[in-house]
Amino acid sequence: MWESASERESATIDPMRHLHLTHPRLDSWVAVEIHERDGRYMATADLGEDSRDIGVGDTPQEAVRAALKALGEPYATEMAAGVNPLTDGAQQP
The beta strands (E) that lie in the chain are given as 17-21, 30-37, 40-48, 51-57
**What pLDDT is attached to residue 51?**
81
56 in a structural domain: yes
Percent of the chain with pLDDT over 70: 75
Q: Does 88 map to a domain? A: no
48 part of a folded domain: yes
Exposure b/e, 10-42, CB count within 10 A at least 16 = b: eeeeeeebebebebeeeeeebebbbbbeeeebb
Q: Is 79 a domain residue? A: yes
Within a domain: residue 92?
no
**Is 38 among the domain residues?**
yes
Question: Please, what is the average pLDDT of the chain?
Answer: 79
CA dihedral 78, 47, 33, 4 (to 10 degrees): -120
pLDDT in tens, 42-79: 999 998 777 889 999 999 999 999 999 999 999 999 99
For residues 73-93, give the mean pLDDT: 72
Q: How many domains does the chain have?
A: 1
Give a yes or no: residue 91 inside a domain. no
Domain limits for position 10: 5-83
